[in-house]
């Protein structure tokens, strides 16, 4: 009776409460991995986007990109770089977090409590699995949208690049110096007064002066319409020059383009999925490589991070760098093979993940010890 009474006093579901699905260790590793991932990804993206920003800033100085769209393009480039370098950042973050646990002897405490590689994998993939699903959506939809939007903004600015930057009282060069403008005054209604234009076509040079000018879009392109002026054209150093006075003269600044050149990285995923062209197949496989890289590189990083407490701060970072460097280059080589139809499209770069799986299996066997693995195999065979 006393035993029955004692059983009745236990709260319901006490056994479930003692072994929660997400343990304290899982939360600790997952949160530490998340904060490290954000830090590493921020550093990588800042370095990559800074280099791209310098090139965009050069275009802005030359007038090819407007100040209004400069930071929009910078934000879109940040989105693309964050998605592209997510596998690399996660690979480094796992190595740093698990390696630190080895150096601080936290892993010794985990192993003493009966934990093993499965315990670490469960904690790590608690974050990695949702992240891989998120990266799949970002690679398939967010990155192409950002690339397409960047192309639209760049093309829009290129169409007006030859008239951007014209300011009163200064010389402005366009088309690599072949076209030079000088405007003495710009009125409130965008009228240009006292306009000087130097236009070089091959070896011939034309100098045009006009009292007024305006910009006008015509069916075949954008023109600067000059009014009441004089035009001198000839070969510098020669004796023959054409001098003419005009009441109205048009200088074409930009030709009309029929359609935009769309990069494959900006194409919609549904179009790539239904396409049989090798370049489209290679681009689709490149997008799939982001979530696959998140999963397989993480699988490889857990046993690779194993180190002794006296190991250096960077542990196996050199080996990890060589592995990722080889992985990135082989990934690009595989995509070029698919584009050139050197290998079948169904093979693609998927063989590379099989290699990562084999390397990870070897590292796991080393993690547990070859003798332990042989004993387990013998026990299985004996049964």
Residue pair 89/35 in contact (Cβ under 8 Å)? The answer is no
Shared domain check, 267 and 193? no
pLDDT-based confidence at 243, cuts 50/70/90?
confident
Which of 99-103, 155-159, 251-255 reaches the highest mean pLDDT? 99-103
- Indicate the pairing of strand 171-174 with strand 221-234: unpaired
Mean pLDDT of 83-104: 90
Shared domain check, 279 and 151? yes
Residue pair 141/259 in contact (Cβ under 8 Å)? The answer is no
Shared domain check, 225 and 350? no
Residue with more model confidence, 347 or 14? 347
Domain boundary pick from 233, 255, 277: 255
pLDDT at 31: 93
Shared domain check, 322 and 183? no
pLDDT at 165: 56
Instruction: Give yes or no for residue 19 having a pLDDT over 60.
Output: no
Shared domain check, 176 and 39? no
Mean pLDDT of 15-33: 75
Mean pLDDT of 317-330: 88
Note the pTM of the prediction, 2 decimals. 0.70
Shared domain check, 127 and 47? yes
For residue 81, which phi and psi values (nearest 5 degrees)? -65, -35
In a domain, 362, yes or no: yes
Shared domain check, 242 and 125? no
Q: pLDDT, tens digit, for every residue of 348-369?
A: 888 999 999 999 888 888 777 6
Domain boundary pick from 195, 221, 255: 255
pLDDT at 308: 67
Q: Which two tokens stand for residue 337?
A: 């093979």
Residue with more model confidence, 216 or 314? 216
Instruction: Give yes or no for residue 9 having a pLDDT over 60.
Output: no
Q: Which two tokens stand for residue 63?
A: 């007038």
pLDDT at 382: 66
Task: With both helix axes pointing from N to C terminus, report the angle between 317-339 and 278-304 in degrees, rounded to the nearest 10.
Answer: 160
User: Is 95 exposed, middle or buried, given 0-12, 13-18 or 19+ CB atoms closer than 10 A?
Assistant: buried
pLDDT-based confidence at 132, cuts 50/70/90?
very high
H helix runs in the chain, sequence order: 2-9, 14-18, 24-62, 67-84, 86-103, 106-112, 117-137, 143-159, 269-274, 278-304, 317-339, 350-368, 370-382
In a domain, 84, yes or no: yes
In a domain, 1, yes or no: no
Shared domain check, 268 and 249? no
**H or E element at residue 241:** strand 241-255
Instruction: Give yes or no for residue 82 having a pLDDT over 90.
Output: yes
Q: Any bridge partners for residue 196, and if so which?
A: 182, 209
pLDDT at 259: 40
In a domain, 164, yes or no: no
Mean pLDDT of 96-117: 83
In a domain, 12, yes or no: no
Shared domain check, 32 and 134? yes
Q: Edge-to-edge strands of the sheet including 171-174?
A: 171-174, 179-186, 192-201, 204-218, 221-234, 241-255
Shared domain check, 59 and 129? yes
pLDDT-based confidence at 4, cuts 50/70/90?
very low
In a domain, 165, yes or no: no
Mean of all residue pLDDT scores within the chain: 80
pLDDT at 258: 41
pLDDT-based confidence at 42, cuts 50/70/90?
very high
Structural domain boundaries, residue 57: 19-158+263-382
Q: Any bridge partners for residue 199, and if so which?
A: 179, 206
Shared domain check, 140 and 24? yes
For residue 162, which phi and psi values (nearest 5 degrees)? -80, -5
Shared domain check, 374 and 277? yes
pLDDT at 85: 94
In a domain, 5, yes or no: no
Q: Give the SS3 label for residue 272.
A: helix
Mean pLDDT of 316-337: 88
Mean pLDDT of 206-222: 78
pLDDT-based confidence at 140, cuts 50/70/90?
very high
In a domain, 48, yes or no: yes
Domain boundary pick from 230, 255, 280: 255
Instruction: Give yes or no for residue 254 having a pLDDT over 90.
Output: no
pLDDT at 261: 45
pLDDT at 289: 92
Q: Indicate the number of domains in the chain.
A: 2
């Amino acid at each position: 009776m006393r035993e029955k009474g004692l059983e009745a006093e236990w709260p319901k579901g006490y056994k479930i409460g003692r072994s929660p699905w997400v343990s304290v260790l899982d939360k600790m590793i997952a949160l530490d991995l998340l904060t490290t991932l954000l830090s590493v990804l921020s550093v990588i993206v800042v370095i990559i986007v800074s280099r791209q920003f310098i090139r965009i800033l050069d275009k802005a100085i030359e007038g090819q990109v407007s100040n209004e769209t400069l930071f929009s393009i910078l934000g879109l480039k940040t989105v693309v770089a964050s998605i592209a370098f997510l596998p690399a950042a996660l690979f480094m973050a796992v190595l740093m977090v698990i390696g630190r646990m080895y150096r601080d002897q936290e892993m010794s405490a985990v192993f003493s409590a009966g934990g093993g590689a499965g315990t670490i994998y469960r904690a790590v993939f608690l974050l990695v699995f949702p992240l891989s699903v998120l990266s799949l959506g970002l690679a398939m939809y967010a990155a192409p949208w950002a690339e397409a939007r960047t192309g639209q903004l760049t093309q829009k600015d290129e169409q007006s690049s030859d008239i951007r930057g014209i300011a009163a009282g200064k010389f402005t060069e366009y088309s690599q110096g072949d076209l030079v403008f000088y405007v003495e005054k710009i009125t409130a209604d965008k009228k240009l007064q006292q306009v000087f234009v130097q236009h070089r076509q091959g070896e011939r040079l034309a100098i045009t002066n006009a009292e007024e000018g305006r910009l006008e879009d015509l069916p075949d392109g954008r023109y600067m319409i000059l009014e009441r002026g004089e035009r001198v054209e000839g070969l510098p150093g020669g004796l023959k020059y054409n001098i003419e006075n005009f009441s109205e003269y048009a200088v074409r600044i930009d030709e009309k383009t029929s359609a935009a050149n769309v990069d494959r990285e900006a194409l919609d995923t549904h179009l790539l999925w239904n396409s049989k062209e090798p370049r489209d197949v290679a681009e689709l496989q490149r997008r799939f490589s982001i979530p696959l890289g998140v999963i397989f590189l993480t699988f490889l990083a857990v046993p690779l991070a194993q180190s002794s407490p006296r190991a250096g701060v960077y542990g196996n970072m050199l080996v990890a760098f060589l592995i990722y460097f080889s992985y990135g280059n082989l990934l690009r080589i595989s995509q070029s093979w698919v584009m050139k139809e050197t290998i079948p499209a169904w093979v693609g770069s998927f063989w590379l993940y099989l290699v990562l799986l084999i390397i990870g299996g070897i590292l796991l066997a080393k993690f547990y010890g070859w003798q332990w693995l042989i004993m387990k195999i013998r026990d299985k065979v004996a049964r």
